Chain A
Amino acid sequence: MNPSVQALENLYFLLRSSLSTLQAQGATPDQLDQLRTQIVLARTNYWTAINNIFHDDDPEVRTLTSQLNAEQLTLAATIKNLNDVAKVIDAITKAVDIGSQLVAKAVSL
Chain B
Amino acid sequence: MTRPALVVLSALLFCSLSACKVSDDAIAASSQMTSTASTLNDFYSITLYELDAVLSGIPFGDSDRKLVETTRDELENRKQMAAALTKLAASFATLAKNSSAGDVDKSATALGKELVTIKALPSGSPVPDALGQAGNAIMQLVQQHDEKKAARAMDQTLQAVGDLFEREKPTYDSIARTHIRQASQVAQDLIKANQIDFSTMFTPALKPFSLSALPSNPTIQPQLKQLALSRLDTATDTAVQKEVKASTAMLDALHEMSSRVHLLATEKPMPIRGDPFSLKLVEDWVQSWAASFI
Contact = CB atoms under 8 A, between A and B. Distances in A.
A100 to B, nearest CB: 14
Contacts of B70: 51
Contacts of B185: 13, 16-17
Given A1-B174, A5-B174, A47-B68, A36 B57 contact: yes
Does more than half of chain A's interface fall in helix, strand or loop, or is it mixed? Answer: helix
A67 B124 CA distance: 20
Contact of B59 (A19, A32, A36, A55): A36
Given A1-B170, A9-B174, A36-B59, A54 B123 contact: yes
Nearest to B59: A40
Given A2-B170, A20-B189, A39-B58, A47 B71 contact: yes
Contacts of B64: 40, 43-44, 47
Interface in B169-219: 170-171, 173-175, 177-178, 181-182, 185, 188-189, 192
B102 interface: no
A6 interface: yes
A34 B217 CA distance: 35
B276 interface: no
B67 interface: yes
A52 interface: yes
Interface in A39-96: 39-40, 43-44, 46-56
A53 B120 CA distance: 8
A19 B177 CA distance: 20
Given A40-B59, A47-B71, A53 B171 contact: no
B124 A56 contact: yes
A78 B59 CA distance: 25
Contacts of A32: 57
| Residue from B63, B71, B120, B123 whose CB has the most chain A CB atoms within 10 Å | B123
B125 interface: yes
A92 B36 CA distance: 36
B4 interface: no
13 contacts: A1-B170, A2-B123, A5-B170, A5-B174, A9-B178, A13-B181, A16-B185, A36-B59, A44-B67, A50-B71, A50-B175, A51-B70, A53-B120
Interface of B: 56-59, 63-64, 67-68, 70-71, 120-126, 170-171, 173-175, 177-178, 181-182, 185, 188-189, 192
Interface of A: 1-2, 5-6, 9, 13, 16-17, 19-20, 32-33, 36, 39-40, 43-44, 46-56
Given A43-B58, A44-B64, A51-B67, 17 more contacts: A1-B173, A5-B171, A5-B174, A13-B181, A13-B185, A16-B182, A19-B189, A20-B189, A33-B57, A40-B58, A46-B178, A47-B71, A49-B123, A50-B123, A50-B175, A51-B122, A53-B125
